[in-house]
């Protein structure tokens, strides 16, 4: 009996040592953000609400004997959310600097849109869901999770250039009342160079997709282009971006899909001085929305101005004061639900 116990202990110890030696590398990160938002809609009563955003992410990676790195991750969402984000795929990083994302790979066009400074606060302004004017540079990205995306190494074809290419397939589910993607392809690129004392980054992308509702296609398939440029000179960042394309969306889950022919322009400035960061941004979007399969449509618009001041209180702790003002029109009529909002709060990250 004593020998059996000793053998069992040795076996468990060996397996334990082996499992430790063979375990992938895991790192954890996350944040806790909380603050107060004061909303002032164009019509109706002013409101106040507490804003919370709590996230916890586990990143996993390991390198093969050949030097290829395999990585993935999962995230536990805000305690008020649905439980967790488990849809991450795998990333394979090769020794030449290139990378392949497999499953939930994203959209190669959206991977290269320029980051435009805007308010870093957590304030938001609600507009009517019927307003379909685009607000982001990658609004025409219609990829599914069943796809791959390939990222080239740096200096691809030219010094400072990197690119991505992606494609995705449909989920083979029948579509009767909602729009389903049949396939999607995209590419994008980022070019980095120096211009005098400024570090300049240029981003661009193109995406195109096909889809249908019960076998009926739209008047124009989803497609879009975007381009932007960012210049960093010392502590000052200036950026501008533009996008144009056709998008398939809907007013709500229970209503039919809607086609949108839209465009958006974004510009912003960020300035850092010591522990203080100042952000200012503007967004101007326009879109003509139509019933699925139709042309023409009514004009929607979205104009937003935002600004914020953030202060680094301590390592990993930042305080924010943000303001946003939105003026929107739906089908040519002023949206009574737009307005302005203030936010004051703090974020703790690890």
Segment among 116-130, 168-182, 204-218 with least mean pLDDT: 168-182
Using the 8-state DSSP alphabet, how is residue 21 labeled?
H
Contact assessment for residue 42 and residue 336, using Cβ atoms and an 8 Å cutoff? yes
Contact assessment for residue 211 and residue 144, using Cβ atoms and an 8 Å cutoff? no
Taking residue 39's Cβ as centre, other Cβ atoms within 10 Å add up to 20
**Distances from the Cα of 80 to the Cα of 9, 54, 55, 252, angstroms:** 44, 9, 11, 22
* β-bridge pairing 69-76 and 90-93: antiparallel
Q: What predicted TM-score, i.e. pTM, was given to this entire model?
A: 0.83
Strands (E), 81-197: 90-93, 99-102, 147-151, 161-169, 180-195
Kindly report the CA angle at 287 between 282 and 288, in degrees rounded to 5? 165
Specify which residues 100 forms β-bridges with. 92, 150
What does the pLDDT look like over 221-273, one tens digit per residue?
Answer: 888 999 999 999 999 999 999 999 988 886 555 567 788 888 999 999 999 99
Report percent pLDDT > 70 for the chain: 88
Q: What is the pLDDT of residue 261?
A: 87
For residue 303, pLDDT over 80 is answered with yes
Domains recognised in the chain with CATH numbers? 26-349 (2.40.160.10)
Backbone torsions φ then ψ of 219, nearest 5 degrees = -65, -35
Separation CA 298–CA 71 (nearest Å):
46
Residue 2 pLDDT level (bands cut at 50, 70, 90): very low
Taking residue 177's Cβ as centre, other Cβ atoms within 10 Å add up to 12
Q: What is the pLDDT of residue 11?
A: 33
For residue 78, pLDDT over 60 is answered with no
Contact assessment for residue 77 and residue 52, using Cβ atoms and an 8 Å cutoff? no
Mean pLDDT confidence for 336-343: 90
Higher-scoring residue by pLDDT: 256, 11? 256
């Amino acid at each position: 009996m004593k020998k059996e116990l000793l053998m069992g202990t040795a076996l468990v110890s060996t397996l334990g040592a082996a499992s430790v030696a063979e375990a992938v590398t895991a790192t954890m990160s996350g944040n806790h953000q909380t603050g107060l938002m004061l909303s002032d809609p164009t019509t109706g009563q002013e409101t106040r609400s507490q804003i919370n955003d709590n996230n916890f992410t586990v990143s996993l990676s390991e390198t093969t004997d050949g030097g290829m790195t395999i990585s993935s991750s999962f995230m536990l969402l805000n305690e008020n959310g649905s439980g967790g984000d488990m849809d991450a795929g795998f990333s394979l990083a090769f020794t030449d600097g290139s990378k392949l994302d497999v499953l939930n790979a994203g959209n190669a066009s959206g991977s290269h849109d320029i980051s435009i400074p805007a308010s870093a606060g957590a304030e938001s302004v609600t507009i009517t869901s019927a307003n379909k004017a685009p607000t982001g540079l990658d609004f025409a990205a219609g990829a599914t999770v069943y796809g791959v995306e390939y990222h080239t190494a740096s200096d691809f074809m030219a010094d400072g250039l990197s690119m991505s290419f992606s494609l995705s397939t449909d989920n083979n589910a029948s579509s009767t009342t909602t729009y389903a993607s049949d396939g999607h392809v995209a590419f994008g690129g980022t070019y980095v160079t120096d211009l005098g004392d400024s570090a300049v980054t240029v981003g661009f992308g193109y995406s195109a997709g096909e889809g249908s509702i019960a076998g009926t296609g739209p008047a124009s398939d989803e497609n879009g282009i975007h381009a932007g440029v960012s210049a960093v000179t010392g502590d000052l960042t200036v950026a501008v971006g533009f996008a144009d394309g056709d998008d398939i969306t809907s007013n709500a889950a229970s209503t039919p899909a809607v086609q949108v022919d839209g465009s958006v322009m974004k510009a912003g400035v960020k300035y850092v001085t010591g522990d203080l960061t100042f952000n200012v941004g503007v967004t101007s979007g326009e879109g003509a929305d139509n019933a699925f399969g139709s042309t023409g449509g009514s004009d929607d618009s979205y104009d937003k101005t935002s600004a914020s001041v953030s202060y680094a209180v301590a390592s990993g702790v930042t305080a924010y004061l943000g303001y946003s003002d939105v003026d929107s029109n739906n089908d040519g009529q002023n949206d009574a639900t737009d307005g302005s909002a203030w936010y004051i709060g703090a974020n703790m990250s690890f």
